[in-house]
Structure 1
Amino acid sequence: MMRALDERLLIVEPDSRQVARLQKILLDNGFYVIGSCADGEEALQICEQLSPTLILLSDALAEPLVVVELAGQLLRQFNLPVVFLSDTEARGSAAMEALAAGFVSRPVREQDLVRSLRLAARLHRREQQLQAENLALRSSGNGRQQPSIQLSQDASYHLYSGTLLRAGRTIRLTPKEQKFLDLLCRHQGAVVAFEQIFVEVWDCEAGNFQSLRILVHRLRRKLGAQDAIENIFEMGYRLNLMGS
């Protein structure tokens, strides 16, 4: 069978029986599984040595905080999309929501697993393509630096690099926060409908409003301005620029 994806998948799961079942499902659907491991330290070593492009991470690995920290390190150090294998309670974690490229609930259904991994890989490739295009845009224009967008008294955002600066310091954004801020900046002063936000940030037509509210709350704190992102009742969100 031809591979469904040109991806190198690593499974991080402590239950060997679960690993065997996951591997069979993935191999039957054309995925290239480079291996599996049962702890975070080994996962980081494998990423260093074998360069996977996609991670399936079980929340049964350790305490939830440890799993979240590992996912964050995989994202920061290797820029790898992480799909969580989790239960419904784990899906309610704001930290996991921020870091996840996707979720697969237990008990695992083959179609859900395959669909989530394919979607995560496709979105990650799209993000990399957009980053490359943005870099090309920044390099064009005879070397002129692209202007930044002033979001609050001491916070500015560079649209093409996805960099948020506050008081001269770089503030880290999660992938979803960056997508959301990019979307608002591209529609400066206009209301961006909820439907468009869910499609472009979560890649779904109808998303979780609680997750969206959490994302907006985090961004407002990072910007240092509660009124920088305005909720337009039953319509969507609007970016309020300084001086507008």
Structure 2
Amino acid sequence: MDSDAARVLVVEDDQVLRTCIEEGLVDAGYQVRSASDGSGFAAVVENFRPDVAVLDVMLPGSSGLTLARHLRDHTQTSVLFLTARDAVADRLAGFDAGADDYIVKPFVMAELLARTRAVLRRSGKLRSGRLQVADLLVDEDAGEVIRAGRPIAVTATELRLLTYLARNRGRVLSKTQILTQVWGYEAYDPNLVEAYVSGLRRKLEANGERLIHTVRGVGYRMSESTPRMRAS
């Protein structure tokens, strides 16, 4: 894990949802700490020093609103609320408690990641969006892809996919992981990933050697060298 990665604290009492959120954030490159309620919240915040807290509003014991007020009074941590309640009064209560953003359940992981990134960007805590793999430069913030000094035109989805692969360079990523992170859902035709990877390869390989490798039966890996597993 990159020690310079933004730190995200997740407080959600639903274990399945909490695990999904934590895995999605870790997969996106964040440092993550999670909890099921507000027990020992002040100590966790002091030790972990989160850049952003993702808080469920309805928690056992102290509510997410109470936890957010603590963050506002004692830290510079940004707050992103999760809730099943979407009435205007509920949203206003959240913002009055110090929310920077508000997500209504159910939601897709891609939305949470996008909102987390937006909150971090507004607070000035977002790490650089410039990624380098061999002679390939991916600048997520500027929306630019350059290889060997030559700009490559990509769509918004191709940029998200390429950024995810580059941020996780050296790791083998499954099609399910890629679908979740780039498109926001897990159950879909895996051929979608294959089609986009194929398109990116054509564009990238017009200016150099292959960087996106297929690991048969597993997924894809971005690296300067071919994986030792059976790959093409």
TM-score interval for Structure 1 and Structure 2 normalised by the shorter chain: 0.3 to 0.5
**TM-score, normalised by the number of residues in structure 1:** 0.45
Greater helix fraction, Structure 1 or Structure 2: 1
**TM-score, normalised by the number of residues in structure 2:** 0.47
